[in-house]
Chain A
């Protein structure tokens, strides 16, 4: 592992050098008083001091609408498999963990070449959280800090950024960095202090158990009244799904072009909270009640998906669902803590 240092000015020059070389760089920019991932035009737009983005960076790994096939209507189809290289800059540790989980889910069993080919073209420059968002609980989920899974990890140590370059893909980008210095031990101490602080400080909602206990917690939670109580207020809008970095359910639809002769089969985001998510032909809905859909989401996060990825909890504590939920019922911590309390009592 080699950790280097760039002054903030030099870091800006590094980003501009990548852009000048024609590299596609997606980074965090301001959107009114909030933040979003977007294609950068210059380093001046980059806001690594962001708290959280409205949508997670998953939109570049699994786009909202992504062509899988192209076809002539009624004829055979061809795969659409061309993905351009991209640098994803400023991914917070919790979002990085979410992407790593998705990498595992799309490559295990039936290998999803669309997802994986796109993903292989992406170089991830992660960044330690500089400012906690209002609903973050990454510390509770043990996702506040990462030690691997990135190509480069950057940390803001005040006057400079430290760059931990971990992979060949990361090293390849270093050709654009001018003025790289080795991090001094004092710098590394600063970095460690920031990471140690984040490990506990990114915790606006405190989970009452270790995250790894959640699958066990859910074993007795299926018929708990909390599902009905919360879901009574649910609008079935699917906002919690849309903003979630670990939600990856999708629909597949055919789109016909204006010529009415050609078209594409696309995959697009879907959400298990939406009313017709489990409806089949003939209009039979296998998850008709709001409470069953509400429960399904939290079971997926805490039990079903962990069972597929070696116990990793599929909630990374970003808090986006809490912010996005119109009815203020989506907070996973509130639900899990409630289940904890009553199981302890019972």
Chain B
């Protein structure tokens, strides 16, 4: 329903937003800060996504990377197709269509007071960042914060300056690894699962949040099972083809669930009887 009257609004009609900042994070990932032209905030919760579009080129689901505690919102768009290629060409001040926010949120309430462990693989850092930043902005509400970041290769690392700042903070632990060794890299080498045994929090009592490429989940979940983390304490943020974002078009289904509405953030214990999930 529309806010200002009792009429139903058109759920497929984007609103316009203006790009207020943009920069490349690596060779393929564009970071953008946007503000809605309506002057209103997006009012999203960490974990949600928007449908981003350019009229004539189409629409795609994109995770929100910023916390609602800040003004405007931030997205990271990988250059992979005709729409995202066009988005990469947009300059500051140009406009883009936005629908949403859509989907479920990170366990802001359930995780309160507990230790948090974020496991991020590659571009999975982007949606996780929305909750990490939320937690850092509400730091006293949460226990120890550990962020594990795994990236395929050195050149693809995201949010490098921000990771450097996180690594200096005393109220959180950042551990980073890259899959392939590199001359400029003195840190950990190996997949992100190799960092899990190094986590200092009491893992079985921590809330663990996982987001990464499809292949990563299986191995991370195996490692977490080995570390005796109960499925109730694990949250995964899943990617699917959320075409409509409103639970109609059918593309994002994992068995009977709609990722655009029931997800993208799922409690792992809720997916026990959902074989298509991982």
Contacts and interface: CB of A to CB of B under 8 A. Distances in A.
Contact of B55 (A248, A265, A277): A265
Q: Mostly helix, strand, loop or mixed at chain B's interface? A: loop
Interface stretch (B165-173, B180-188, B191-199, B246-254): B246-254
B8 A251 contact: no
Name the prevailing secondary structure of the A interface residues. Answer: mixed
B136 interface: no
Contacts of A72: 55
Given A110-B246, A116-B8, A250-B244, 10 more contacts: A109-B261, A113-B11, A250-B248, A252-B249, A253-B58, A270-B249, A284-B213, A284-B214, A299-B256, A303-B256
A297 to B, nearest CB: 11
B78 interface: yes
A111 B13 CA distance: 13
A112 B246 contact: yes
Interface of B: 1, 8-14, 16, 53-60, 78, 80-81, 84, 95, 97, 213-214, 239-241, 243-244, 246-251, 253-256, 261, 275-276
Nearest to A75: B55
Contacts of A106: 248
A26 B275 CA distance: 43
Interface string A263-292: 101010010100001111110101100001
A74 interface: yes
B80 A282 contact: yes
Interface residues on A, range: 35 or more
A71 B58 contact: no
Contacts of B261: 109
A222 B261 CA distance: 23
Contacts, number: 126
A252 B9 contact: no
Contacts of A111: 1, 8, 11
A235 B249 CA distance: 23
Contacts of A309: none
A104 B244 CA distance: 17
A37 B142 CA distance: 61
Given A248-B250, A249-B251, A286-B240, A281 B11 contact: no
A113 B10 contact: yes
B9 to A, nearest CB: 7
A74 B14 CA distance: 12
Contacts of A77: 13-14, 55, 97
A138 to B, nearest CB: 24
In the complex, which of the residues B56, B78, B80, B256 has the most CB atoms of chain A within 10 Å of its own CB atom?
Answer: B56
Interface in A112-128: 112-114, 116
A279 B123 CA distance: 18
Contacts of A250: 243-244, 248-250
Interface string A67-98: 01101111111110100000000000000000
A171 B214 CA distance: 56
Interface centre among A81, A116, A304 (most CB of B within 10 A): A304
